[in-house]
């Protein structure tokens, strides 16, 4: 059965995924002589850099998501379909989805990444990932549920485990999440749970390498460690987690930590679609592409963003899997599709690195733009401005700004809500 999409005398561009890359590509094709069909398993675009604030009660989920149909309202040659793509049939130039078959003239895979647990024993079942809105809400519920449990248990050891939070992964997500948890410990949770001794709450950041924020320079890496220590976090470098059973974390050195909360932010892998040659897939599940983002071996199938593995003289291991790369690749591919429609030569993608940044609690951030790096309050204000302007939707920007202002003035986070209690598969739900 074919998906019900109007047949028009225009080339059809099918985009799979409405992340940063897919969204930019679709918007850049607004006035192109093509029919754009966007397919996503969610009916909204997610501003992923702020997921950690949803999980730590700083923002509501609906302030970082935006309905796809509303973004493209009024564009007659654009069509959105809510479904999951199951297989690519390149020879037939169609895709199989959960809602039917869709033909294409040009296909773009922009599915993004999911958490990579690297096959470590117990992680997939017992740790908490944070790559989607649902996972962020689950984490928010788990954090609050464990403090509620800590009030009830009799064992000091069990209470300490419920109040121990271990974040694995020293990239921006791990650093920002660790800072946010420390802010909860310092300003918020003691007011909600005065019966608990918050001197016993531990926030530990574990990184398998010898540095945090490896993409930044030495000054900013040192700043990040100093800021985390000032907030009360423990930073463990050169430590690799090898096992987790939901209670005990085991490391490669044999060191163990008792913790009921393990948040995994240490790796990602591409969300693959079956059907293409497995020889052009990297170990981290990315498609090998040429400099025009065309998947190698296929004429009209492309990959952008986190799914694209493009080797250049400057990026011998592919581009970093960050939003600016996806946005710029989406924009460049839109230009190349126009070139292809005219029979012209495509233009090679050239990434312009605008810099990196990470926030680490109140009035603390690290920012790097070219050879310029800075931190502190100015870095924090820069981080706020850049992220606020990048959120999709005026209403979302206003709501986010209001929440940030309120949190800053009141030292509070009002969204400490267990709307949907989190239960792992196999656990009995509490009545």
Provide the annotated active-site residues.
Answer: 176
Residue 390 DSSP SS3: helix
State how far the Cα of 166 lies from the Cα of 257, in Å rounded to an integer. 9
CB 204 within 8 A of CB 257: yes
What is the three-state SS of 320-346?
CCCHHHHHHHHHHHHHHHHHHHCCCCC
Tokens matching residue 180: 């946010």
Reference 94, options 46, 37, 9; nearest CA is 37
Angstrom distances, CA of residue 378 to CA of 213, 340, 359, 404: 19, 45, 11, 16
Burial status of residue 332 (CB atoms within 10 A of its CB: 0-12, 13-18, 19 or more): buried
State how far the Cα of 266 lies from the Cα of 169, in Å rounded to an integer. 4
Token pair 């025009």 is found at 292
Length of the chain, in residues: 431
CB 244 within 8 A of CB 119: no
b/e per residue, 299-315, with b = 16+ CB within 10 A?
ebbbbbbbbbbbeeeee
Angstrom distances, CA of residue 32 to CA of 76, 94, 367, 394: 12, 21, 37, 26
Q: CA-based diameter of the chain, in Å?
A: 74
CB 234 within 8 A of CB 202: yes
Residue 227 DSSP SS3: helix
- DSSP H or E segment with residue 369: strand 365-369
C-alpha 351: how far from its chain's center? 20
State how far the Cα of 60 lies from the Cα of 199, in Å rounded to an integer. 28
State how far the Cα of 141 lies from the Cα of 143, in Å rounded to an integer. 6
Cα of first residue to Cα of last residue in the chain, in angstroms, is: 42
């Amino acid at each position: 059965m074919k998906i019900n999409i109007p047949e028009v005398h225009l080339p059809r561009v099918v985009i799979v995924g409405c992340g940063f890359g897919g969204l930019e590509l679709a918007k850049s094709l607004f006035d192109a002589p093509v029919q754009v069909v966007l397919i996503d398993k969610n009916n909204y675009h997610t501003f992923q850099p702020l997921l950690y604030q949803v999980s730590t009660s700083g923002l509501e989920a609906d302030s970082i998501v935006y309905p796809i149909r509303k973004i493209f309202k009024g564009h007659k040659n654009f069509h959105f379909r809510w479904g999951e793509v199951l297989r690519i049939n390149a020879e037939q130039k169609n895709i199989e989805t959960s809602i039917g078959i869709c033909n294409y003239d040009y296909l773009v895979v922009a599915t993004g990444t999911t958490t990579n647990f690297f096959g470590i024993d117990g992680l997939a079942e017992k740790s908490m990932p944070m790559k989607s809105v649902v996972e962020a809400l689950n984490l928010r519920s788990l954090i609050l549920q464990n403090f509620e449990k800590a009030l009830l248990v009799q064992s000091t050891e069990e209470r300490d485990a419920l109040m121990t939070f271990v974040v694995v992964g020293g990239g921006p997500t791990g650093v920002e999440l660790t800072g946010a948890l420390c802010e909860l410990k310092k300003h918020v949770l003691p007011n909600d749970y005065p019966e608990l001794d918050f001197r016993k709450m531990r926030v530990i950041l574990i990184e398998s390498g010898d540095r945090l924020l490896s993409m930044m320079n030495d000054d900013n890496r040192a700043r990040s460690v100093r800021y985390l220590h000032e907030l009360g976090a423990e930073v463990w470098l050169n430590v690799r987690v090898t096992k987790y059973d939901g209670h005990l974390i085991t490391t490669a050195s044999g060191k163990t930590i008792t913790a009921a909360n393990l948040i995994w932010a240490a790796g990602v892998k591409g969300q693959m679609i079956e059907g293409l040659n497995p020889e052009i897939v990297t170990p981290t599940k990315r498609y090998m592409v040429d400099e025009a983002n065309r998947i190698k071996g296929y004429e009209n199938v492309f990959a952008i963003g986190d799914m694209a593995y493009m080797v250049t003289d400057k990026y011998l291991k592919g581009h970093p899997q960050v939003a600016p790369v996806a946005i710029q690749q989406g924009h460049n591919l839109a230009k190349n599709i126009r070139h292809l429609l005219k029979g012209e030569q495509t233009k090679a993608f050239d990434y312009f690195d605008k810099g990196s940044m990470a926030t680490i609690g109140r009035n603390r951030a690290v920012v790097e733009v070219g050879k310029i790096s800075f931190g502190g309050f100015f870095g924090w204000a820069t981080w706020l401005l850049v992220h606020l302007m990048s959120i999709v939707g005026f209403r979302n920007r206003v709501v986010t700004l209001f929440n940030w202002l309120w949190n800053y003035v009141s030292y509070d986070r009002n969204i400490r809500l267990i709307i949907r209690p989190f239960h792992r598969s196999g656990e009995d739900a509490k009545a």
